[in-house]
Structure 1
């Protein structure tokens, strides 16, 4: 059995989900875990330090029995910039702001003069696209500096929408948005904007 499978079986046996396994130079074995999620499952429980400790103790035992060579084991949560790996992750985090990187630039046809055709990186709100895909919605609004006045007559920048399939992505992560004042970011409503 592979190391990945051994770790995944151990984590799943403790009622948790394996997000990522990474081996680094110097013998570091990094394991990222999270609570399992199912569509429509309203859970308020968050991963805590006790969950990480429980997985660490169990993995130390299992890895010793399996004879896995490592110097240090690190078990943690995915963090605020969690990697999105599969369809279930995208479904779980739809409506959130994400950073995506495409494998290839969007091209002239897709850009339609609105966006640089060589662009591969985007940050925007993740939404479901019909029939069975995903889209990202963003505006190229310039951030207002503290103390700067903004005219009430200023038109809001247009929302851009780009549909994509998961196999077109090089990587996708939750955008690390830290908001200390409790304000949520507004999501552009593309249904109201007509081009």
Structure 2
């Protein structure tokens, strides 16, 4: 059900998001502390402002109220994916080649579940390669719990 709602909301939101010059990064429909949250993550060149989130929230909210695909009560949140955004789409892997990423695996590889290195890219839609200390590591996408941009302070 969750995946179906996320797909329906994505299809509803994309026209509004693209019309305003944004990219839909992700949609999440989750249960947290007894409340349901519908989270829409947007991005654009130069970043996302609070006003940008408000514009998308109002547009999408009105359409969701009209179509009413979610029968339970929920909170709608529209935000930027943040500096440590997860990489999910093929375009993300192309756009962020050469950037540092954090990779978290479901199961340990050589005794480790977390790796950090420079993203080389996505290959054959199934393999992700990163460079760690002059060594190339390759991971199956299905083995990765999370891959996101690394934030250096």
TM-score range, shorter-chain basis?
0.7 to 0.9
SS at match of 1:167: helix
| Higher percent of residues as strand | 2
Give ranges in structure 1 of 5+ residues lacking alignment.
Answer: 36-43, 107-116, 140-158, 179-195
Q: 1:105 to 1:23 in 2, by over 3 A?
A: closer
8 Å contact kept, 2:6–2:27: no
2:24 corresponds to 1:21: no
Which has more radius of gyration? 1
8 Å contact kept, 2:39–2:77: yes
TM-score, with length taken from structure 2: 0.75
Alignment of 1:157-172 (within 5 A): 159-172=134-147
- Which residue matches 2:55? 54
Supply the distance in 1 between the matched residues of 2:105 and 2:42 (Cα, whole angstroms).
26
Show CA shifts across 1:15-72 (max 9, x none): 031413132332332221224xxxxxxxx44333332112100122122223333342
8 Å contact kept, 1:124–1:136: yes
The offset of 1:75, in angstroms, is 0.6
Give ranges in structure 2 of 5+ residues lacking alignment.
Answer: none
Moved over 4 A (4+): 129-133
State the aligned residue count.
140
- Which residue matches 1:103? 106
| Higher percent of residues as helix | 2
The offset of 1:131, in angstroms, is 8.1
Q: RMSD of the alignment, in Å?
A: 2.5
- Which residue matches 2:89? 86
